[in-house]
């Protein structure tokens, strides 16, 4: 509730169409700054790939959490189930890749999966 009050104060405390337009401007500003930050993170990956990947992952996780918190409670379990299924597929793929070429592709697998062997 406190966050809603803060957002309302940020857009001038207006309601209705004016408040909606102010909120859209805030969203656009946040998306623009976020996009610039993600481009910086992408460039960081050229010099420090682990750090860049971790920063991008943190950003994406934060956005996912914020969006999921706004999902209607009746739909939240569906979103969580899709997330679990996706994670299982990614983990199974990474495991299969690491098992296929253990002597040659160990470092590549670690870079892709983010997990140490």
Tokens matching residue 90: 């990614």
Neighbours of 109 (CB within 10 A): 22
Residue 42 pLDDT class (50, 70, 90 cuts): confident
pLDDT of the residue at 11: 57
Q: Is the pLDDT of residue 41 over 70?
A: yes
Q: 53 and 37, same structural domain?
A: yes
Indicate if 22 and 6 belong to the same structural domain. Answer: yes
Domain that holds residue 43: 1-70
- Please tell me the total count of domains within the chain: 2
For residues 88-98, average pLDDT: 92
CB within 8 Å of 45: residues ≥ 6 apart: 52, 53, 56
* Mean pLDDT calculated for residue range 88-114: 68
Percentage of residues of the chain with pLDDT beyond 90: 41
Predicted model pTM: 0.61
């Amino acid at each position: 509730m406190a966050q809603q009050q803060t957002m309302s104060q940020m857009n001038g405390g207006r309601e209705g169409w004016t408040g909606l337009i102010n909120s859209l401007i805030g969203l656009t500003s946040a998306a623009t700054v976020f996009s610039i930050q993600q481009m910086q993170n992408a460039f960081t990956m050229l010099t420090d790939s682990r750090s860049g990947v971790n920063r991008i992952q943190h950003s994406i996780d934060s956005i996912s959490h914020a969006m999921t918190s706004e999902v209607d409670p009746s739909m939240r379990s569906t979103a969580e189930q899709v997330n679990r299924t996706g994670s299982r597929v990614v983990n199974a793929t990474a495991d299969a890749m690491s098992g296929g070429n253990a002597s040659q592709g160990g470092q590549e697998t670690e870079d892709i999966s983010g997990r140490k062997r």
